[in-house]
Amino acid sequence: MRKLGQLLAVTAFAVGVSAGAAPAVTLQDYQDKPIVTAGDLAMLCAAKPDGGVGTAAVNFCHGYARGAIAVQLLREAATRRPLKLFCFPDPAPAPGPTLEGFAAWVNANPAHGREKAADGLFSFLGEKYPCRK
């Protein structure tokens, strides 16, 4: 039942899109290369929703985060002694500000921008929402 609650927290985390100041995202940002690094993902998470490509970028960021987090929680649920990378509080944090925070964190820590996208996201979430030991 606890795992179901965590999965519901992920869903709550991934719902919604927030606006904010960010660089313009272009169609080439999608077409030139796949989203591979945390820097690539952060660029999309920092986009300004504009009803066009910027909105698509933010939606992609939120969808990617939701999927990556759901897979991680499913891995934890399938493991006898899971390695918890992060622990969301209850209630789950709002996704918009959290993912904007991820983008700012990557920009402030360029080495994290070179990590694989999910690894960078989980590193950020682990710092922001550490698990109690």
pLDDT tens-digit map of 69-114: 999 999 999 998 888 999 999 999 999 999 999 999 999 999 999 9
Global pTM value: 0.76
DSSP helix, strand, coil percent of the chain (3-state; round to 5): 60, 0, 35
| Phi and psi torsions of 21, nearest 5° | -70, 130
Domain count, the chain: 1
CB 127 within 8 A of CB 87: no
Residue 133 covered by a domain:
no
Q: Which domain holds residue 94?
A: 2-128
Residue 48 covered by a domain:
yes
Cis omega (within 30 of 0) on the bond before 91? yes
